[in-house]
Amino acid sequence: MSDAWTWHGGALAAAQRHFGGNDWIDLSTGINPHRWPGAADMAFDWQRLPDPAALAALEAAAASYFGVEPHHVCAVPGSEIGLRLVGAMIGGPAAHIAPGYRTHGAMIAGGAAVDPEAARESRGTLILANPNNPDGRVIDGEAMLGLLRDRDGWLLVDEAFADTDPAHSVAAAVGDDRRLVAFRSFGKFFGLAGVRLGFVIAPPAMIAALRDRLGAWPLSAAAIAIGTAAYADHEWIAAARARLPRDAAALDAVLIRHGHQPIGACPLFRLIAVDDARALFERLARRAILIRPFDDQPRWLRIGLPADGAALARLDAALVDG
């Protein structure tokens, strides 16, 4: 199954063109379906360049949220760009844990894929996600720091899905003399992927080099304003962290009822393994429900959270034939 929807989540337009139909439910991503609501009421001055002081305020708000000092934080126009820039700055040798996020294999030329058990023995820089995408595997904090202690290179940790449980993050362990970098995504937890906002948390020397590559105005005024306000909305953040596990449990119950075993500890998505993943993917697509298949793992399907009870009921009904 080699189509646009196997390359990444969110290929809804391609699925619509291929399968037809209306009123699609997109469950192909790990993006919170309950987005932070404040962005809808915000207005921006599109005639002015973004203010450097506003960018600094965003990074300070994000640093407070991550539990680190602001001089360790650099905002980037999406964590994808941060991953690629830092990978190019560090260079090889390197390894990335597989299965994992496709970009991890492209960050450093010549990087090798290793399974999680072999990660400790790998040499040079190690790239991994925690929680992992797409299987939701979580490595506890002590084990993560053990990977750092055992390295003769950098440990680069993609924490795009760590916001649901701050205990998963190693951001607070980043220090001036540690070869540790964490990457954070704004759009997934806050449900605003179109803002294109992410952060690199790293030693100050790397932050300075990264700023040189990004230039004077790396973010839009909208991204700066939305991110600053959202990170300060502690009530919404707490409510989202309480709600997402409940929504994931409801999704688990539906999947289990239809004979599937949900995999993963990240509440923004679940993975299932089925013998004929293509048939199940197409069965749901014909009912205007998009989930995520994988070229390199033909038995896997990743399913994001339905936005509400009606969407969950539609998924439930569509799984009856499966």
Residues facing residue 126 across a β-bridge: 95, 155
Secondary structure in 3-state letters for 175-234: CCCCCEEEEEECHHHHCCHHHCCEEEECCHHHHHHHHHHHCCCCCCHHHHHHHHHHHCCH
CATH of 4-35+235-321, one of 2.40.30.110, 1.10.287.10, 3.40.605.10, 3.90.1150.10: 3.90.1150.10
Closest CA to 161 of 271, 84, 85, 58: 271
Side-chain-side CA neighbours of residue 122 (13 Å): 27
Rg from Cα positions in the chain: 20
Long-range contacts of residues 59-65, Cβ cutoff 8 Å, at least 24 apart: 59/199, 61/227, 61/228, 61/231, 61/232, 62/184, 62/199, 62/227, 62/231, 64/231, 65/231, 65/237
User: What pLDDT sits at residue 2?
Assistant: 54
Compute the distance between CA of residue 290 and CA of residue 305 in angstroms, rounded to an integer: 12
DSSP string, 23-86: S-EE-SS---SS--GGGGG----TTSPPPHHHHHHHHHHHHHHHTS-GGGEEEESSHHHHHHHH
Q: Which two tokens stand for residue 139?
A: 């490595």
d(CA 233, CA 237): 6
Q: How many angstroms separate the CA atoms of 194 and 40, rounded? A: 13
State whether residue 240 is helix, strand or coil. Answer: helix
Distance CA 311, CA 322 (A): 17
Alpha-carbon distances of 218 from 78, 81, 187, 248, rounded to whole Å: 10, 11, 17, 35
pLDDT at 149: 84
Q: For 261-274, what is each residue's pLDDT tens digit? A: 999 999 999 999 99
Tokens of 294: 């994988």
Write out the residue limits of the CATH 3.90.1150.10 domain(s) in the chain: 4-35+235-321
Tokens of 252: 């688990």
pLDDT for position 142:
83
Architecture of domain 42-232: 3-Layer(aba) Sandwich (3.40)
Strand 180-185 to 155-158 pairing: parallel
Segment 243-266, tens digit of pLDDT? 999 999 999 999 999 999 999 999
Backbone dihedral angles phi then psi of residue 128, each to the nearest 5 degrees: -155, 165
* pLDDT for res 7: 74
Say if residues 290 and 318 touch (Cβ distance below 8 Å): no
**Nearest residue to 128 (alpha-carbon basis) of 164, 92, 160, 104:** 104
- Separation between Cα atoms, residue 1 and residue 277, nearest integer Å: 10
Q: What is the DSSP letter of 92?
A: S
Distance CA 25, CA 216 (A): 39
Domain with CATH 3.40.640.10 in the chain: 42-232
The CA distance from 73 to 119, in Å, is 27
Quick one: pLDDT at residue 144? 87
Tokens of 190: 């806050």
**In a structure prediction context, what are the per-residue pLDDT tens digits for the chain, which is 322 residues long?**
557 777 778 889 999 999 998 899 999 999 999 999 999 999 999 999 999 999 999 999 999 999 999 999 999 999 999 999 999 999 989 999 999 998 999 999 888 999 888 888 888 899 999 999 999 999 988 888 888 887 889 999 999 999 999 998 999 999 998 999 999 999 999 999 999 999 999 999 999 999 999 999 999 999 999 999 999 999 999 999 999 999 999 999 999 999 999 999 999 999 999 999 999 999 999 999 999 999 889 999 999 999 999 999 999 999 996 5
